[in-house]
Amino acid sequence: MTDMNPGFFGRIGIAFGVFFGVLGNAAFAGRVQRLREAPEAPDFTTEAPKPAAAPVQPAPAPAPAPSVLKEASPVAALQLLGLLQRDARFIDFVEEDIANYSDADIGAAARLVHDGCRAVLREHFTIKPVRTEAEGSRVTLQEGFDAAAVRLTGNVVGKPPFSGNVSHRGWKVEDTRLPKLAPSHDASIVAPAEVEL
């Protein structure tokens, strides 16, 4: 059975797997989006739900996704993966069997990978928080709020306005600066083999 509460490094692997899966596979991205928007989807970010004092009408179902999905080109995802490997040794870290390493060794390696990943993101993307309020701040979401930018968690019932606490500010990419590729470049080679002479 799949562990429903994976550890920190397990969650890192899952997060990057989903991230690159969404970038490189439109069908997978659609399934992830439907899972996130489904009103009956389990919310693993909170404790067991508390019973409601009185029955309340559920929130209306989100609008159906368009029937035609745009297929994403995998080249940009492969290019980003190559940059993360080049500057952070990301693939080396994820593909390494870490079962026999101590937590201290893993932590030291994770710090290097983190620094490299952060450098790649800052060089090639402008990333800003979706919400400007500090995490833990109380906010009210009025009717018509952007459901793609704000995901409601917890006991979501009724209609807006919704009041709650910001548990994560979210991230949005405002600018992308990936290098241009020569027509002959094979983006699937994210890290060439090295032969020392």
In terms of pLDDT, which residue wins out, 31 or 129?
129
* Whether the predicted pLDDT of 21 surpasses 90: no
CA distances from 11 to 18, 112, 196 (A): 10, 18, 35
Q: Is residue 62 part of a domain?
A: no
Average confidence (pLDDT) over 185-190: 92
* Residue 32 binned pLDDT confidence (cut-offs 50, 70, 90): confident
Q: Is residue 35 part of a domain?
A: yes
* Whether the predicted pLDDT of 1 surpasses 50: no
Q: What is the DSSP string of 88-121?
A: H-HHHHHHS--TTS-HHHHHHHHHHHHHHHHHHH
* Whether the predicted pLDDT of 23 surpasses 70: no
**Do 36 and 79 lie in a common domain?**
yes
* Whether the predicted pLDDT of 66 surpasses 70: no
**Do 18 and 88 lie in a common domain?**
yes
**Do 84 and 161 lie in a common domain?**
no
| Alpha carbon distance 24, 187 (integer Å) | 12
How high is the pLDDT of residue 103? 93
**Do 81 and 115 lie in a common domain?**
yes
* Whether the predicted pLDDT of 3 surpasses 50: yes
* Whether the predicted pLDDT of 76 surpasses 60: yes
Split into its structural domains, the chain has a count of 2
**Do 29 and 5 lie in a common domain?**
yes
pTM of the predicted model as reported, rounded to 2 decimal places: 0.60
Q: Is residue 23 part of a domain?
A: yes
**Do 39 and 78 lie in a common domain?**
yes
| Alpha carbon distance 81, 21 (integer Å) | 11
| Alpha carbon distance 143, 129 (integer Å) | 21
Q: Is residue 144 part of a domain?
A: yes
**Do 82 and 164 lie in a common domain?**
no
CB 169 within 8 A of CB 60: no
Q: Is residue 135 part of a domain?
A: yes
User: What burial letters (b/e) apply to 47-86, b meaning 16+ CB within 10 Å?
Assistant: eeeeeeeeeeeeeeeeeeeeeeeeeeebeebbbbbbbbbe
What is the sign, positive or negative, of the torsion defined by CA atoms of 7, 10, 16, 18?
negative
Percent with pLDDT over 70 in the chain:
74
What is the residue range of 136's domain?
Answer: 131-169
pLDDT tens-digit readout, 9-18: 566 667 767 7
**Do 185 and 91 lie in a common domain?**
yes
* Whether the predicted pLDDT of 157 surpasses 50: yes
**Do 150 and 180 lie in a common domain?**
no
Q: Is residue 52 part of a domain?
A: no
**Burial classification of residue 119, based on how many CB atoms lie within 10 Å of its CB (0-12 exposed, 13-18 middle, 19 or more buried):** middle
**Do 186 and 164 lie in a common domain?**
no
Q: Is residue 20 part of a domain?
A: yes
Q: Is residue 34 part of a domain?
A: yes
**Do 188 and 122 lie in a common domain?**
yes
* Residue 192 binned pLDDT confidence (cut-offs 50, 70, 90): very high
**Do 37 and 83 lie in a common domain?**
yes
pLDDT tens-digit readout, 104-153: 999 999 999 999 999 999 999 999 999 999 999 999 999 999 999 999 99
